[in-house]
Amino acid sequence: MLIKTVLSLCDYSGVWSQPYADTGYNVIEGEEMEIVETKYDGTVIVGTHYRCVGSVRGWCGVKHRTNKAAIRCCERDGSACRKQGGYSDRVVCLCDDDGRVKGHPEYDGNRC
C-alpha cells in the first residue's frame, strides 16, 4: 500500500492538514523536535509530538507539534461527534517518534 505524506509546516492549528489526515495521508506538522514535559508529580516525560487518541475514535492521524494544536483538534472532533449525537473519546497524548504514548495514565506505552 502506498502511504502518502503531507508536510504541514505553517499550520499551527491543524485545520489545514485535517482533511489530509481524514483521507489517509500521513501528516507531519513542522519540524519534529524533542518535547519535554514535567508532570505534577515531578515525572519527566519526553516525546516528539502530540497525538489525539481514543480507544473508540482511534488516532486523528496528525502529528501535532504543539499541545495547543492537539487540544484544538480534539475539540473539533468532539464538536463533529456531538453534531451526530455522539461524543469523542480522544485525548491528547505526548508520543515518541514510533508513535508510542508517553506518560498518559490510560495509554502509556501503547503504540497508536
- Please state the closest distance from residue 88 (CB atom) to Zn ion, in A: 10
Q: What is the 3-state secondary structure (H, E, C) of 32-73?
A: CCCEEEECCCCCEEEECEEEEECCCCCCCCEEECCHHHHHHH
Residues that bind Zn ion (CB under 5 A): 52, 60, 62, 73
Which one, 52 or 91, has the nearer CB to Zn ion? 52
Query: Which residues, including other chains, have CB under 8 Å from residue 23's CB and lie 6 or more apart?
Result: none
Which one, 43 or 111, has the nearer CB to Zn ion? 111
- Please state the closest distance from residue 44 (CB atom) to Zn ion, in A: 24
**Dihedral angle, C-alpha 29, 14, 44, 47, nearest 10 °:** -30
Which one, 15 or 46, has the nearer CB to Zn ion? 15
- Please state the closest distance from residue 29 (CB atom) to Zn ion, in A: 9
